[in-house]
Copies of this chain bind each other. A is one copy, B any other.
Amino acid sequence: MKRVCIVGCGAIGSLYAAHLARVAEVHVFVRREAQARALNEQGLRVSGKDAHNFTARVQASASARAMPEFDLGIVATKATQTEDAFAPVGHLFDRGAVISAQNGLGSEEILAEHTRGWVVRATTFMSGTRHSDTHVQYELDTPTWMGPFEPRGTPFAVVQQAADLVVAAGLKAEALEDARPAQWSKLIFNASVNSVSALTELPHSPHFADETEFSSLGNLLHALIEEGKAVARASGIQLHEDPWEMNKLGAQTNHPPSMLYDVRRRLPTEVDFLSGAIARQAERAGVAAPLHAAMYRLIKAKEASWQFADENRAVEAAQSQP
């Protein structure tokens, strides 16, 4: 795996690109021409602890035209952008492998539609802050878990090779025979916390773990997580970690989840890949997931409200009952 392409260069994509450039030829496929130019001219700077302070050379492009074939790809766009970002370059991985390092469930299926290469299911707990197109700060030194995407029959050896490369680059990674327990643990956690944050506009605050009163928000988080666990169980997936414990820890951080960021900027959210994915999987598995379905429908309607401004303005006029 000598030639690697990172698709999407946000915080997570930037961390992979810069680290992997130390052990492979790294190309970066981005949406904006200006970002490609800046990366080619200035390189990609990582700041953080210890060995994570350096500037890497990468070859960036906003067009698939001039790009070569790759041994490995890592797709790190928002899940909502997978289709648009990967369709133009998918054929470049036909003789290689491609990893989805995205939030939620369902991105692997989109990758598989656009490449004949091996598809790898991954869940990353890395975190970083993107300061500019060419500067990312490495925060949590936590691993990426990888496993085969079952419908494609990806050999474990391919997953192991990819994990080895990421480890050689100085990041944490682990190859697993089955990555779904890790993916579903994060999915249930992420779906529950992101939906509630997007609707309440609270960051991941202590309210999320508070169960002292009947009205307390922690009761809802608990119910969402239990419902997600029941869907995993009905789908034959044993969880790697308890999402409720993840929620209790996270609720001490006041961290703003990505969907809160999206809602504040009126950007399309990843809800189709989070609560929406849980609700749809519940239907397939023949179990009920009324709460995740409710969150899904509320957030889709919230997105619709941004196109519904005229009628909304009526609320500013004098108010009548009820």
Contacts and interface: CB of A to CB of B under 8 A. Distances in A.
Interface of A: 10-12, 103, 124-131, 139, 186, 190, 196, 199-203, 205, 207, 214-217, 219-220, 223, 254-258, 260-261, 264, 272, 276, 279-280, 283, 290-291, 293-294, 296-298, 300-302, 304-305, 308, 311-312, 314-316, 318-322
A67 B215 CA distance: 38
Nearest to A259: B322
Contact of A300 (B215, B255, B316): B215
Contacts of A302: 199-202
Contact of A103 (B300, B316, B320, B322): B322
A103 B320 CA distance: 13
Contacts of A220: 293-294, 297-298
A-B pairs, top 10 by smallest CB distance, nearest first, are A256-B315, A200-B301, A254-B311, A129-B320, A217-B301, A220-B297, A202-B305, A200-B302, A215-B300, A201-B305
9 contacts: A131-B318, A196-B301, A202-B301, A203-B311, A203-B314, A217-B298, A219-B293, A220-B298, A258-B322
A311 B205 contact: yes
B215 A296 contact: yes
Contacts of A257: 322
A202 B127 contact: no
Given A290-B291, A291-B291, A305-B202, A128 B312 contact: no
A261 B321 contact: no
B215 A320 contact: no
B217 A318 contact: no
Contact of A294 (B128, B130, B139, B291): B291
Contacts of A322: 103, 125, 127, 186, 190, 257-258
Contacts of A297: 215-217, 219-220
